[in-house]
Amino acid sequence: EPEVTQTPSHQVTQMGQEVILRCVPISNHLYFYWYRQILGQKVEFLVSFYNNEISEKSEIFDDQFSVERPDGSNFTLKIRSTKLEDSAMYFCASSERAMREKLFFGSGTQLSVL
Amino acid sequence: GIQVEQSPPDLILQEGANSTLRCNFSDSVNNLQWFHQNPWGQLINLFYIPSGTKQNGRLSATTVATERYSLLYISSSQTTDSGVYFCAVEGMDSSYKLIFGSGTRLLVRP
């Protein structure tokens, strides 16, 4: 069964450093998302992306965050200057069409900011 | 924004028991999905169920959209059912994001 792939599975970084989290969505999917989950808390929406532009973003997704689809397969989340509170599990997700259908999540990248 | 409440927050079962998890939401929704987060953190999509009833093996779900709730039934539970079950909804004002509840943490004991 096709799946969403995320790399790396774990990322440790120093506060203030830039990180890039990578995702390969399911190949025929057109809508891409990033969510995050702080340890022990609920999953939170960050951003959705379609047709090479952001469709919607949350209050969490401030100027320190950006997303990009640099080629036909990858979808990335960049955090320019990490903060301690950015420590979380970051999930990439994709869907074939707009949200009104099943959303498929990757296995996540655990980001630890020291 | 739309609020999603799940109950119970925690549930402990003996293997073989049945359970019902509830999700209440505060406004009309376009979309409702149930997810299982396994002990390794992976989010598995169980159901896309904005209304009606669906079944998949030992799991079934029912959403009554007019009354703003959804139920997830787990029958003959197994230890592999352990983890956190999340309900997530998409409000009428958005086509691109799911709002998650706080989850029900399930532990199935052998």
Asked if B3 reaches chain A (Cβ–Cβ under 8 Å), the answer is: no
- Give backbone dihedrals phi and psi of A73, rounded to 5 degrees, phi first: -125, -30
Mean pLDDT, residues B104-110: 96
Are B45 and A104 within 8 A, CB to CB? yes
Are B100 and A56 within 8 A, CB to CB? no
User: What number of other Cβ atoms are within 10 A of residue A110's Cβ?
Assistant: 17
B35 band by pLDDT with thresholds 50, 70 and 90 = very high
Chain A residue numbers touching B9 (CB-CB < 8 A): none
pLDDT in tens, B66-91: 999 999 999 999 999 999 999 999 98
DSSP assigned state of A80: S
Query: How many CA atoms are closer than 13 Å to the CA of A14, on its beta-carbon side?
Result: 1
Alpha-carbon gap, residue B42 to B47, rounded angstroms: 15
Distance from CA of B21 to the nearest CA of A (A): 16
pLDDT in tens, A2-59: 799 999 999 999 999 999 999 999 988 889 999 999 998 899 999 999 988 999 999 9
Helix (H, G, I), strand (E, B) or coil at A23: strand
Q: What percent of chain B has pLDDT over 90?
A: 84
Q: Which two tokens stand for residue B27?
A: 């406004």
User: What number of other Cβ atoms are within 10 A of residue B68's Cβ?
Assistant: 17
Nearest to B96 among A41, A98, A104 (CB): A98
